Amino acid sequence: MSSNSSLHIVIFPFMSKGHTIPMLHLTRLLLLRRGITITIVTTQANSPFIRQSLYDTQPPVNVIELAFPANIPQLPPGVESTDRLPSMSLFVPLANATKLMQPDFERVLKSLSASGGISFIISDGFFGWTQQSAEKFGIPRLVFSGMNNYTMTICGVLAGDRSHLRLGPDEPFTVPGFPWVNLTMNDFDPTFNDPELKGPHMEFIMEVATATSKSQGIVVNSFYELEPTYLDYWNREFVPKAWCVGPLCLAEPPKVDRDQKPEWIKWLDQKSAEGRSVLYVAFGSQAEISPEQLREMADGLEQSEVCFLWVVRSKVEGLEERVKERGLVVREWVDQVEILRHESVNGFMSHCGWNSAMESICASVPILAWPMMAEQPFNARMVAEELGVGLRIVASNGSVRGFVSSEIVEKMVRELMEGEEGKKARRKVKDIGKAARKAMEGGSSWRTLDQLIDETCRKKDP
């Protein structure tokens, strides 16, 4: 640990639950070190969630609110987070709008620097502009990454070797330096397959990548033992240094006994009492699923005859009546970690966002990976092919993108919950779950966080 008697860290999460929640877990981990003060910067609409999540921390966390820019073309009034966007096609306008907060953010840095100093900043990778602010005040900036080392490294390699762009969308190819990794063009978000590297989305990505390369390091929600080959490669071939300090969900405090449990926990308790195994189904708050695909999902779950708890925003006509006691459909926000830790839950059909994958691994629950967007196809390959902690759903035409029939859903659900491949994944995820907990309980991730603090503070005060 640093010899500094008191450290002050500024944390700035991106306005999306999938980015904010792990940074709040990181906040809890940092507060376990003595002499650390934390200030979180956020917008007014996102502040209540952060304050509620950290109400019990000691010492208390200081939360500073910035006004989100008004009258942004394309953005509906009052939208300050991805959860509220009518479509993820508006992500880039939302992210770019945050640049207008830079003067207010710099006033906060100036004030905090004058009243005792800032040791370093941890800001989300999407806030590339905060690197300029950090440089202006001579404060080290660390980037919080929502990706794992596997995805970071493979994308880093293929950004330099773009020979795969001449292939068809589903034609397999291997990654230079990683001959066991097989991909297709459809594993990438379409933006990355543009040979011209043009357009607002690509410009935003390039800005973020440039700012990240100038930062002091990347904080990664993973642990060394999970992906040593990729972390070592990244730290040998790319900059800045990546630091694995996760799985951060293990910093979530256990739920205290409540007089009034949510209905979905009562339902899981009932399934547990009946000795029945439950498949948890959730695709995050940002997946955009067509009505036709939702119907196929519903039909496949119904035909599988497996018990399931499905968190979905859209109404699935008639499903609850047809599955009666065997299935529960929930449309409100749920505590995913609490669900995955429930003894009745023995499988997770997931979009394979990295937080969800980590939470499932830590709960020793195997994953049925059904990626929807962004880097999720990479996570799905990692889960199924690299780690063996889950199975993978592919489209009816064999592509990693496209329409999935109810027959495929039924077959894969049964295989995960009852088949031999599912049993193998269940054994593997238990072993990796144990390694994850060991990494956080005084192991590699715990030590890495101490080293990160020391090294970053030394760069500020040579």
Whether pLDDT at 459 is above 80: no
pTM of the model: 0.94
Count of CB atoms situated within 10 Å of the CB of 384: 21
| Residue range(s) in the chain whose domain bears CATH number 3.40.50.2000 | 7-251+439-460, 263-437
Domain 263-437, classified CATH 3.40.50.2000, yes or no = yes
Strand residue runs (E) in 138-200: 141-145, 173-175, 178-183
Whether pLDDT at 405 is above 70: yes
Query: Which tens digit of pLDDT belongs to each residue from 315-345?
Result: 887 888 888 889 999 988 899 999 999 999 9
Instruction: Give the pLDDT confidence score for residue 236 in this predicted structure.
Output: 98
Query: Which tens digit of pLDDT belongs to each residue from 24-38?
Result: 999 999 999 989 999
Confidence of residue 460 (pLDDT cuts 50, 70, 90): low
| DSSP 3-state of 172 | coil
Instruction: Give the pLDDT confidence score for residue 179 in this predicted structure.
Output: 96
Query: Which tens digit of pLDDT belongs to each residue from 115-132?
Result: 989 999 999 999 999 999
Residues in Cβ contact with 41 at an 8 Å cutoff, skipping those fewer than 6 apart: 10, 11, 12, 64, 66, 105, 108
Instruction: Give the pLDDT confidence score for residue 313 in this predicted structure.
Output: 84
| Arithmetic mean of pLDDT, 358-362 | 98
Mean pLDDT for the chain?
Answer: 93
CA geometry: angle 22, 28, 30, nearest 5 deg: 105
- Strand pairing report for 217-220 and 307-311: unpaired
Distance CA 80, CA 82 (A): 7
- CATH classification code of 7-251+439-460: 3.40.50.2000
What are the counts of helices (DSSP H) followed by strands (DSSP E) for the chain? 17, 15
